């Protein structure tokens, strides 16, 4: 049996087949191996079912909300059906809006532009930059890193004491560095007791765990399609309509405008739509939205309980394996007993993480992530660094083998064969105990194999 056939057979034994599982990649030592994609936290591979649904729709593709032709009307109907599918997937309340964006980052920037003047925004320093940075035009209160789930709630309650006026807490559902699950329900209860709203960054949560807006009682949820096994760069912001309907459109242009009149003197008078179209100006990413809805249906049909149970087993296997290697430290902010999704950050004593990541790829065909993961303050806290320590997302300053403020991250999901995890643990063990078989150098900020 060929290696490609073996890879396809292995994929069948995973709960949800994904694209790319039979892709062969070259090794610097010679030969090819099936690529082990263990960087799901950055972008998940596309589900095969999602790709099939895209292919089935593609011949019928047309512009939405504008055209009178058959394909335009069909695409418009499908676009709005997809909106309803996402609303059901998220457990939206009847009055919630589902707005299609480009990504989680885009969604949170949209909401940041819509918060009322004078809103106080609370965010933990441990957030991903997509959650940490959009609020700079607001009155931002950055909370210190908690050391347990209970501590996180205590810090928020202390910060909200004496709160007056509108307020918003932005919090992740699962860390993109450690995979740890944050106490979203408890934080939401604490925020609501003091009149603050909550937006949940579900980018790392939505593919691993049900997200129920009504059940969690959060006010908004943001996530990206490319974290949910759906390609093409679409995202979602879902939640309460009042702030969104009162805000100026996030993008000014066609679709958002209901009426435009040129007045005497050359000024323009614009009446904006309310509802979802207010913040969806321009031609939407119809195929990207269709991909998100397909992923929602596929994950629901597969059953989150079954998927989550398998991922818990896989997480246990990887953490056990890492513990047995030796100089490996698994990163944790909220305590070793904190539940996590299948995202595991770690460091290896005496190693530059970029060097290890490059060797795993070049010598074993394994893709992991290294750097600060667009969560610089969090990684510095986890590694005991200071704000002045050098280190960059994916571009460490140190040469191979030298210490640097960066870490490694392995992440996986519904399309990951068990064999990929075993190959990763074996490869990491060999590299740590026997060293790489190739020479590496830093080139344009990346550690790469030397010619």
In the beta sheet, which residues pair with residue 70? none
User: Exposed, middle or buried by CB within 10 Å (0-12, 13-18, 19+), for 293?
Assistant: buried
Which residues are designated catalytic?
374
Q: CA 281 to CA 169: how far, in whole Å?
A: 27
Is the CB of residue 320 less than 8 Å from the CB of residue 346?
no
Torsion of the alpha carbons at 425, 428, 434 and 436, rounded to the nearest 10: 140
With tokens 């399309």, the residue in question is 415
The backbone torsions φ and ψ at residue 233, rounded to the nearest 5 degrees and listed phi first, read: 65, 50
With tokens 């397909």, the residue in question is 294
Query: Can you spell out the DSSP letters for 240-296?
Result: -SHHHHHSPPSS-STTTEEEEEEPTTS-EEEEE--SGGGG--S---HHHHHHHHHHH
Q: CA 25 to CA 36: how far, in whole Å?
A: 9
User: Exposed, middle or buried by CB within 10 Å (0-12, 13-18, 19+), for 164?
Assistant: exposed
Q: CA 284 to CA 292: how far, in whole Å?
A: 13
75-81 contact pairs (CB < 8 A, 24+):
75/286, 78/286, 78/290, 79/284, 79/286, 79/289, 79/290, 81/293
Residue 171's nearest CA partner among 150, 195, 191 is 191
With tokens 């599982």, the residue in question is 21
Q: How far are the Cα atoms of 210, 221, 240, 279 from residue 215, in angstroms, in the given order?
A: 10, 12, 14, 26
Q: CA 237 to CA 276: how far, in whole Å?
A: 10
In the beta sheet, which residues pair with residue 440? 449
- Where do the DSSP E strands lie in 300-397? 328-330, 343-348, 366-367, 369-371
């Amino acid at each position: 049996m060929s290696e490609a056939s073996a890879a396809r057979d292995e994929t069948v034994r995973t709960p949800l087949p994904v694209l790319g599982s039979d892709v062969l990649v070259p090794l610097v030592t010679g030969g090819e191996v099936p690529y082990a994609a263990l960087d799901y936290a950055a972008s998940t591979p596309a589900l095969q079912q999602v790709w099939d649904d895209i292919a089935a729709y593609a011949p019928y593709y047309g512009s939405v909300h504008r055209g009178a032709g058959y394909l335009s009307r069909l695409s418009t109907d499908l676009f709005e059906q997809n909106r309803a599918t996402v609303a059901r997937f998220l457990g939206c309340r009847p009055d919630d809006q589902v707005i299609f964006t480009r990504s989680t980052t885009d969604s949170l920037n949209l909401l940041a532009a819509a918060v009322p003047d004078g809103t106080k925004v609370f965010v933990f320093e441990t957030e991903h930059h997509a959650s940490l940075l959009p609020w700079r035009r607001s009155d931002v209160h950055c909370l210190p890193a908690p050391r347990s789930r209970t501590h996180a709630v205590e810090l928020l309650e202390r910060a909200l004491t004496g709160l007056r006026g509108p307020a918003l807490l932005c919090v992740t559902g699962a860390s993109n560095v450690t995979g740890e699950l944050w106490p979203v329900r408890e934080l939401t209860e604490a925020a609501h007791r003091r009149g603050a709203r909550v937006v949940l960054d579900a980018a790392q949560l939505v593919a691993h765990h049900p997200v129920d807006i009504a059940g969690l009682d959060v006010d908004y949820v943001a996530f990206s399609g490319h974290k949910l096994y759906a390609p093409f760069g679409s995202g979602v912001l879902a939640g309460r309509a009042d702030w969104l309907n009162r805000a100026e459109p996030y993008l000014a242009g066609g679709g958002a405008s209901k009426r435009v009149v040129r007045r005497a003197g050359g000024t323009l008078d614009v009446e904006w739509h309310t509802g979802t179209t207010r913040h969806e100006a321009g031609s939407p990413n119809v195929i990207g939205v269709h991909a998100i809805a397909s992923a929602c249906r596929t994950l629901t049909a597969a059953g989150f309980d079954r998927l989550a149970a398998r991922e818990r087993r896989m997480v246990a296997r990887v953490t056990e394996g890492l513990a047995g290697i030796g100089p490996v430290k698994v990163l944790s902010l909220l305590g070793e007993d904190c539940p996590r999704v299948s995202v595991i950050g770690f460091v290896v004593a005496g190693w530059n993480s970029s060097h290890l990541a490059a060797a795993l790829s070049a010598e074993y065909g394994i893709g992991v992530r290294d750097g600060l993961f667009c969560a610089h303050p969090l990684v510095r806290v986890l590694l005991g660094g200071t704000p002045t320590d050098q280190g960059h997302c994916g571009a460490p300053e140190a040469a191979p083998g030298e210490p640097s403020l960066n870490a490694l991250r392995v992440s996986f999901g519904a399309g990951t064969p068990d064999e990929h995890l075993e190959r990763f643990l074996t490869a990491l063990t060999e590299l740590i105990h026997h060293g790489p078989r190739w020479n590496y150098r830093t080139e344009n900020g990346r550690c790469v194999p030397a010619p």
